[in-house]
Structures are given as structure tokens and as C-alpha cells.
Structure 1
């Protein structure tokens, strides 16, 4: 099984998800998205694969979220995607992609639904 993990090693949840994947005997493809940010097009595809709005993949903690006023109800999907593309720290993590689906794994146990 191929597993892709959008990972931030500084995040405890992301490290837990990586451990759960490895415990299942899988070595995932790890994308360190802060060092190698996805393009806006890749973000659009990730959002499409989750079947949820972009806001669901938006990290809502931190000063940048507030500075950009991304909590405003008038902020559009395009504005959220533009913000995440320009500031990858706004991408919530960990995001896991397998043949079974694409999910933001918060809480970490959600990854189990994507594994064999």
C-alpha cells in the first residue's frame, strides 16, 4: 500500500500518525510541506480528495491566521487556498493519502481508517 504523509516533525500529532503508519509495517512517502510547500493546484487537489471545504484543512492556530483575518465568514475558498499556498504554515496536518482516501488525521487515530 502506498501512503503519503504531509508531515511536520515538530507536531506531536503528525509524529503520532507517522508512528501508527510505521507500526502497520508501511514506510510512507513523507512530504515535509513546510520545506517543500505544495502548489496551489496541489492544494486544490488535496481539498477535492478530502471532499471537504478548504477551511477544514486550514490551521486556525497562530498569529498569521488572525493577522490575515481568515476567521471572517466572508473569506472564500479561493482566498483560503491562496493563503495556504502563500503561507504553508497555514496548512493543518497531518494529511494522509492512501488508496482508501485522503484525510486530515486529527485526531491521530483517524489514520487507522486509511490503513490495511
Structure 2
């Protein structure tokens, strides 16, 4: 499986991460997740690949985060993932996936050590 980047072309950090990959000769599969949202099952897999809490996947600064009350600590992981599936702008970006591991590349410089 080729390296993938969950990418938002309007996001400067996402563009930086893609440029960093390309500068290293890596041509990732680019997944514009706003146009092609991930399913609940795909998000569960992504969370396992990240090895991070579901909350780490959320963009807390988004209006949807506040409107949906996602700061509520009583919400389950499934409820949070469902919110991301329904409103993909809530997903952190960029995320780079390489086989069974993934990284939230924010800041993109995190990729330098991760790719070694």
C-alpha cells in the first residue's frame, strides 16, 4: 500500500506536509477527505493506526465542535467518531498513513522523524 495523506488543499499545514513528502521523493496517494469523507469503520481503523485517543483526532477550533457540544467528556469514542464521519471538517489535518501506522502531521516537521 502506498503512503497516503488525508489532505485539505485549503490548509497551509496540509500543503506543507504534502510538499515535504514530495521533496523527499514520496508521491503519496492524496485523499481529499472533505470531498470523500471517511466512514465510521475507516475512522476507527485510523484511530488505531494513530495509536492516539479519539479526541486527538478532533479539531477543537471548528464551529461544529462547539455547536455539537463535543467538549462534553461523557461522549463516547463512537459518538465522537460519528461526528467526524458526519462533519469531516472536524478531522485533524494533515494525517499521513503508512501501512498500519499513521501520524497527525501538525506541525508538518513531525514527518521528518516519523519517516526514518
Query: What displacement does 1:99 show?
Result: 4.4
Q: What RMSD in Å do the two structures reach over aligned CA positions?
A: 1.5
Instruction: Tell me the SS of whatever aligns to 1:14.
Output: helix
1:1-40 matched pairs, under 5 angstroms: 2-40=2-40
- Alpha-carbon distance between aligned partners in 1 of 2:8 and 2:51, rounded to the nearest angstrom: 23
- Alpha-carbon distance between aligned partners in 2 of 1:24 and 1:99, rounded to the nearest angstrom: 18
Does the CA-based 8 Å contact 2:57-2:92 persist in structure 1?
A: yes
Instruction: Tell me the SS of whatever aligns to 1:108.
Output: coil
Structure 2: any 5+ residue segments left out of the alignment?
none
Moved over 3 A (4+): none
TM-score (norm 1): 0.93
Structure 1: any 5+ residue segments left out of the alignment?
none
Aligned length: 116
Query: What displacement does 1:9 show?
Result: 0.4
TM-score (norm 2): 0.93
- Alpha-carbon distance between aligned partners in 2 of 1:112 and 1:98, rounded to the nearest angstrom: 14
